[in-house]
Amino acid sequence: MNPSFWSAFRSEWIKFKSVRSTIIGLITFVVLTIGIGILVTLGIRGHINDHGGEARLSFDATSTSLVGIFLAQFAVGTIGIIMMTAEYATGSIRTTLSAVPNRTRLVVAKAAVLVAALFVLCEVTCFAAFFIGQSIYHGAGLATTLSAPGVLRAVSLAGVYLTLLGILGFGLGLIIRATAASIIAYATVLLILPIIVNFLPSAWQTHLTKFFPGELGRDMFTPSAIANDFSPTTAALMLLGYAAGLVTIGTVLLRRRDA
């Protein structure tokens, strides 16, 4: 029987789970995301009354319980980046391409493994962080539920946001090939660009900021619409577009470059 896409997928799956540092990294990501959620929600519960009634009115129990995402996004990005750059760092890309010479198939198989692993893990983590956060808020009368408007969507899309960032990192790794440079590029997009834009005239800011991946993420995991921003669905599709665009560019480069 000739190898198919699924043969390449199985191969990449074995590779993904057989490096212990990947597994440790994933566990750390889960623990940190949930842990930060617990700390932040506990802090908010203790101090919400300092800000008076208005603070309670505008309070968003969902996104504050998901605040660990701000750290988690670097973990998933790095996992995506390393999935590709480790092949170049160790030279194993040549072995990999000898086994799967169809380079497009290889990229799709790797991306599929990444999506499968990250999507499940990120959804579980985000829902866990949400429920733990709400149980902490519960005593203070701050808690919300999944049936409140937009909440189920926001928590689900939080996992989608992290998964897409993993693919975004994977695309950067595919293009740049070096781990450190890829991580710098990733951090630049998520952290540095928004800071730079802060120094621009505010009219420009409103036009530019909403296009950044981080801002698209806020649109996705906030239950109520954010003024001047995209709708959650549009934001998710745009981020998918960014990730798919980078992976496509990376695939074209991989097909053309010498390994």
Partner 1 sequence: MIKIDHVSKQYGDTLAVNDLNFEVSPGVVTGFLGPNGSGKSTTMRIIMGLDQATKGSATINGQRYRDLKAPLREVGALLDAKAVNPNRSARNHLRALAASNNISTKRVDEVLEFTGIASVASKKVGGYSLGMSQRLGIAAALLGDPPVLLFDEPVNGLDPEGIRWIRDFFRSLAKEGRTVFVSSHLMSEMAVSADQIVVIGRGHFITQGSVDDLTRTAQGSVLVRSASPDVLKTALSQATEIETLNDGALNVTGLSAEAIGTIALSAGIALSELTPQRASLEEVFMELTADSLDYGSHSKGDSK
| Residue numbers at the binding site for partner 1 (CB under 8 A) | 1-3, 7-8, 10-12, 14-15, 18-21, 86-87, 90-95, 97-102, 258-259
Output 86 or 152, the one with its CB closest to partner 1.
86
CB of 116 to partner 1, least distance (A): 15
Work out the angle between the directed axes of helices 69-90 and 20-47 (0-180°, nearest 10). 170
How many other C-beta atoms lie within 10 A of the C-beta of residue 165?
A: 31
Q: How far is CA 5 from CA 8, 9, 12, 258, in A?
A: 5, 6, 11, 22
CB of 108 to partner 1, least distance (A): 13
Output 4 or 231, the one with its CB closest to partner 1.
4
Of 162, 201, 174, which Cα lies nearest the Cα of 74?
A: 162
**CA distance linking residue 158 with residue 66, whole number of Å:** 8
Output 11 or 209, the one with its CB closest to partner 1.
11
**Would you say 180 and 144 are in contact if contact means Cβ atoms under 8 Å apart?**
no
Work out the angle between the directed axes of helices 151-176 and 103-138 (0-180°, nearest 10). 140
Dig out the tokens for 57 from the structure: 């009115």
**CA distance linking residue 84 with residue 203, whole number of Å:** 39
CB of 109 to partner 1, least distance (A): 9
CB of 2 to partner 1, least distance (A): 4
CB of 252 to partner 1, least distance (A): 14
Output 106 or 239, the one with its CB closest to partner 1.
106
Output 95 or 198, the one with its CB closest to partner 1.
95
Output 15 or 153, the one with its CB closest to partner 1.
15
CB of 87 to partner 1, least distance (A): 8
